């Protein structure tokens, strides 16, 4: 079954939440819709201590003033604004004000390296960058380096204007308070769904960070697609945990975007303390928990977990794979079904959900079926639809897809609207998607394909393994060889562990899949959304091969 379209269960009307996204052409207009419908309802809460909050009417006013402030700087429609702020109300205001002014939002990792930010500022040609107490040192250093970087890239132009939030400005800088000053002329918001809304930098399928060009059409389409799920992913009466970083597409559109669409309340959190967060679930009345796998791992051992999660209506895990053993352990301890989905930055982001299946249940190991309005296909290496049950590359088609990579729209959907995701998967008999691995993580040993996720699953089942990651390294005889990085649990006998890994691999894997080497490490590098940063492992291994480390 090579192709999957949304099933009737995904488009059922019973229980569906109303979608404001269908009535607007600029995502920022969702705030105005909610301010009109529920002016005095709480929209945003900042921190588990609820130290700061705002209603929908207050948020709409802040966004309007912010848009006017940006326009007063001489910015024109389509100019880029980099937002390097920690998760909080200021980020939301800056993001929505940028969109309302017809500008393009460029979220940046608030904990990223200076060099990374220099490249992003230079590549996007951002005219303004916002910073807070967490990011200001990095941003100031990056602003200094932008002019030099632009010159090296063959471009021209000066450094962006720096707007600081919650701290005094240095010479030549502005404050967010100045940007939000009342009394400026109201901006005329462009209403064109094909207008570029956001540049989200992602490694994509190439490995090098590139700006995925997301239009208002893509962002709004995905909000409508998610809102069509029954049972509903989000309702107006939900209090939603906003723990996922807003510079990441899952937090930005998958969570915040749906809050704007449904008029729910979101609690914005920028640090994760397992105990404090669980207490906040109860004290703040959180009902909807969009999470990443590391949170489930941190919570599963907490005492009285089911009691603490008793008021939660829905728990969804995304952004990184979650194995069946981890799901079963959490469901047993927490008393909640763990729903999953699959998405990517280029799809704004949600493509599948286990909630699309009747009763919100999907076969074990799957990430659910396609959302309404989204098509899936699994194709071979030549781009032809698979005719057998072998894994193939997952292709996606839908209005939620991006318009290619900045600035020329390269490597976007093909002429028929299909996009090759770089993920390897299978489609089940009911159209459910089962992910196998990332195409760029594929290891080819003597011409045979090795999917690291398969090897990782085998190794992770060995007692004493806390975490495992598998990569390919160059090998003179086989082209590539498998190397496993393993984090032992505390107190584990390393010799016994290595023997156990070897024995299990020999028992459960074909010989060409066996790790040539198992490296025991204290920790694995992770990205901000909880995924193992395999690129760093490959870079380190390559450095060793070249004698650089």
Tens of pLDDT, residues 46-55: 999 888 999 9
Give CA–CA dist 197/378, Å, rounded.
Answer: 30
Task: Tell whether omega for the bond before 407 is within 30 degrees of 0, i.e. cis.
Answer: yes
First to last CA, the chain: 48
Average pLDDT, the chain: 90
Please name the residue that has the structure tokens 């089911």. Answer: 306
Going by the DSSP 8-state scheme, the letter that residue 358 receives in this structure is G
CB 537 within 8 A of CB 485: yes
Cα–Cα dist 202/535, whole Å: 13
Q: What is the pLDDT of residue 362?
A: 63
The CA-based dihedral angle spanning residues 281, 236, 22, 126, taken in that order and rounded to the nearest 10 degrees: -40
> What is the spatial distance between Cα 297 and Cα 279, in angstroms, rounded to a whole number?
17
| Band of pLDDT at residue 455, cut at 50, 70 and 90 | very high
**Dihedral through CA 156, CA 249, CA 245, CA 272, nearest 10?**
-150
Between CA 486 and CA 465 the distance in angstroms is 7
CATH code linked to domain 57-191: 3.40.50.980
Q: Is the pLDDT of residue 149 over 80?
A: no
Give the class (CATH, top level) of 442-545. Answer: alpha beta
Query: Which CATH architecture fits 3-12+205-439?
Result: 3-Layer(aba) Sandwich (3.40)
What is the residue extent of each domain of the chain? Answer: 3-12+205-439, 57-191, 442-545
pTM, entire model:
0.83
pLDDT at 549 over 60: no
Burial (CB < 10 A; 0-12, 13-18, 19+), residue 453, is middle
- At 430 the pLDDT is 83
Residues 6+ apart with CB under 8 A from 548: none
Residues in the chain: 549
Per CATH, 3-12+205-439 and 442-545 having the same topology is answered: no
pLDDT of residue 385: 85
Tokens 């901006």 map to which residue?
A: 187
Give, in order, the Cα–Cα distances in Å from 535 to each of 110, 214, 417, 445, 478.
20, 25, 29, 19, 21
Q: What is the dihedral of CA 258, 206, 2, 508, to 10 degrees?
A: -100
- What lies within 8 Å, CB to CB, of 175 at 6+ separation is 163, 164, 165, 168, 169
């Amino acid at each position: 079954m090579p192709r999957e379209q949304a099933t009737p269960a995904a488009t059922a009307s019973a229980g569906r939440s109303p979608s404001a996204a269908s009535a607007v052409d600029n995502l920022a207009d969702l705030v105005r819709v909610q301010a009109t419908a529920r002016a005095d309802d709480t929209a945003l809460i900042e921190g588990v201590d609820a130290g700061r909050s705002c209603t929908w009417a207050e948020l709409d006013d802040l966004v309007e003033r912010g848009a006017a402030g940006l326009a007063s700087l001489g910015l024109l429609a389509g100019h880029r604004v980099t937002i390097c702020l920690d998760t909080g109300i200021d980020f939301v205001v800056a993001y929505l004000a940028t969109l309302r002014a017809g500008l393009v939002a460029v979220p940046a990792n608030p904990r990223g390296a200076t060099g990374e930010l220099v490249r992003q500022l230079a590549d996007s040609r951002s005219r303004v960058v916002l910073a807070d107490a967490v990011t200001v040192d990095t941003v100031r250093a990056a602003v200094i380096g932008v002019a030099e970087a632009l010159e090296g890239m063959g471009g021209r132009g000066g450094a962006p204007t720096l707007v600081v939030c919650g701290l005094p400005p240095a010479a030549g800088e502005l404050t967010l308070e100045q940007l939000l000053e009342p009394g400026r002329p109201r901006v005329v918001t462009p209403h064109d769904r094909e207008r570029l809304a956001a540049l989200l930098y992602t490694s994509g399928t190439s490995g090098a960070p590139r700006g995925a060009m997301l239009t208002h059409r893509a962002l709004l389409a995905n909000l409508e697609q998610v809102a069509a799920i029954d049972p509903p992913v989000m309702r107006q009466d939900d209090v939603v945990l906003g723990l996922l970083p807003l510079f990441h597409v899952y937090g930005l559109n998958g969570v915040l975007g749906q809050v704007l669409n449904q008029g729910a309340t979101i609690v914005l959190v920028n640090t994760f303390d397992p105990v404090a967060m669980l207490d906040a679930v109860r004290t703040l009345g959180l009902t909807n928990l969009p999470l990443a796998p590391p949170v489930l791992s941190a919570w599963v051992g907490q005492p009285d977990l089911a009691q603490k999660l008793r008021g939660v209506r829905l728990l969804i895990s995304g952004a990184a794979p979650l194995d069946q053993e981890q799901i079963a352990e959490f469901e047993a301890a927490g008393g909640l079904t763990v729903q999953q989905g699959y998405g990517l930055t280029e799809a704004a982001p949600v493509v599948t959900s286990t909630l699309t299946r009747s009763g919100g249940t999907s076969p074990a190991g799957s990430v659910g079926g396609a959302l309404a309005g989204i098509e899936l296909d699994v194709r071979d290496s030549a781009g032809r639809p698979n005719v057998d049950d072998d894994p193939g590359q997952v292709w996606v088609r839908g209005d939620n897809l991006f318009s290619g990579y900045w600035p020329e729209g390269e490597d976007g959907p093909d002429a028929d609207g299909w996009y090759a995701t770089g993920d390897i998967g299978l489609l089940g008999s009911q159209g459910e998607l089962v992910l196998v691995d990332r195409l760029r993580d594929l290891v080819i040993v003597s011409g045979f394909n090795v999917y690291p996720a398969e090897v990782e699953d085998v190794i992770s089942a060995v007692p004493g393994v806390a975490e495992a990651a598998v990569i390919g390294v160059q090998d003179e005889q086989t082209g590539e060889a498998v190397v496993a990085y393993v984090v032992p649990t505390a107190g584990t006998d390393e010799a016994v562990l290595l023997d156990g890994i070897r024995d299990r691999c020999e028992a459960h894997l074909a010989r060409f899949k066996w790790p040539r080497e198992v490296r025991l490490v204290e920790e694995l590098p992770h990205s901000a959304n909880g995924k193992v940063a395999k690129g760093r492992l490959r870079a380190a291994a390559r450095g060793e091969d070249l004698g650089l480390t």
